[in-house]
Amino acid sequence: MLNVSRKGLQGSISGSLSNLDQLRLLDLSYNDLKGGLPTDFSNLQLLEVLDLSHNMLSGSIVGALDKLTLVQSLNLSSNLFSGNFSGIGKFPDLVEFVISNNSFSGELDSQLCSVSRKIRVLDISLNHFTLGLEWLDNCSISLQQLHLDENSLTGLLPESMYSMTSLEQLSVSANYFSGQLSPQLSKLSNLKSLVLSGNMFSGAIPDVFGNLTNLEQFSANSNSFSGALPSSLAQCSKLRVLELRNNSLSGVINLDFTGLPNLYTLDLASNRFHGPLPDSLCTSQELRILNLARNKLTGQVPGSYANLTSLMFLSLSNNSLTSLSGAVSVLQNSRSLTTLISSSP
């Protein structure tokens, strides 16, 4: 084992490392290493854990990892690696694959998932991948985390994704995905975090959250979702973050918030909701951030909102609410409130 993480190492990775052919763990993370991987790096054939994250390593990795067939954890995140990621090698025992925050492009090797049936963490976020997700068809149902954020991925979410029933975290934000969410989302009953923001999804959000009772975060800002809020969201008692800002959602905000006691953030701004503020929201006493700005809401701030004593940020601007000055007296018990935006258009 060689762990020299956070030791202030500078310069390039020495080719002499390849002489440590009995090494099973190599951690060079959080240093100031630069340059490419040595060509004989793949001589470390017994490596099970390789962590090169948070350096300034660059260039292509094709050929450098070919022989590392025993690797279980591979972390190359937060470097300057670039080039195509296909044909990098086969890792039958791979459990954790993290290459986020680099400049990789093209497509992943379609054999990545079919060779390894043990992958639990797959993170390719913050790169330049452009093609679809056909390669996910081979991914094992053992996958627990899938992060695809901030690439240039296009098309529909593949149906195979809804068969990954062990998924706990699914994030695909800041891509070009389109189409409607499938009701098969209900199969992902272990999901804790679902992040879809910054895409081109459209249509109604399927009302299937009664099967997603482990959900703690649902973020789908800046899409083209329409229709009503799914009433089954009220069955997600562990939900802490609900962010649906900047869509075309409409109707009355009629969620039964008594089922959401742990809600911390509620952001429904820039939609087409109308009607009164939901009175039952007063039961979400952990609420810190409430943003309902730029809708068509009417009426007054309910007196029951005096129970929202943990509130830190409240924006009700650009609605048709009345007696907004009364909101100050209603919220006088919210000692943590630092931001109150209540101006009308």
Rounded-to-integer distance, Cα 150 and Cα 101, Å:
9
Amino acid identity of 27?
D
Domain assignments of the chain as residue spans, ordered by start = 2-341
Strand partners, 183: none
CA–CA distances in Å: residue 334 to residues 169, 239, 307, 329: 33, 22, 8, 10
Domain 2-341 maps to which CATH number in 2.60.120.260, 3.40.605.10, 3.80.10.10, 3.40.47.10? 3.80.10.10
Buried/exposed code over 146-177 (b: 16+ C-beta within 10 A; e: otherwise): bbbbbbebeeebbebbbbbeebbbbbbbbbeb
Rounded-to-integer distance, Cα 79 and Cα 52, Å:
8
Q: What is the CA radius of gyration of the chain?
A: 24
Output the pLDDT for position 86. 67
- DSSP, res 109: -
| Tens-digit pLDDT string for the chain (345 aa) | 989 999 999 999 988 888 898 999 999 999 999 999 988 888 899 999 999 999 999 999 888 888 889 999 999 999 999 988 765 667 889 999 999 999 999 877 667 777 777 889 999 999 999 876 777 777 767 899 999 999 999 999 988 899 999 999 999 999 999 999 999 999 999 999 999 999 999 999 999 999 999 999 999 999 999 999 999 999 999 999 999 999 999 999 999 999 999 999 999 999 999 999 999 999 999 999 999 999 999 999 999 999 999 999 999 999 998 876 777 777 787 788 888 877 655
C-beta neighbour count of 274 within 10 angstroms: 15
Tell me the pTM: 0.94
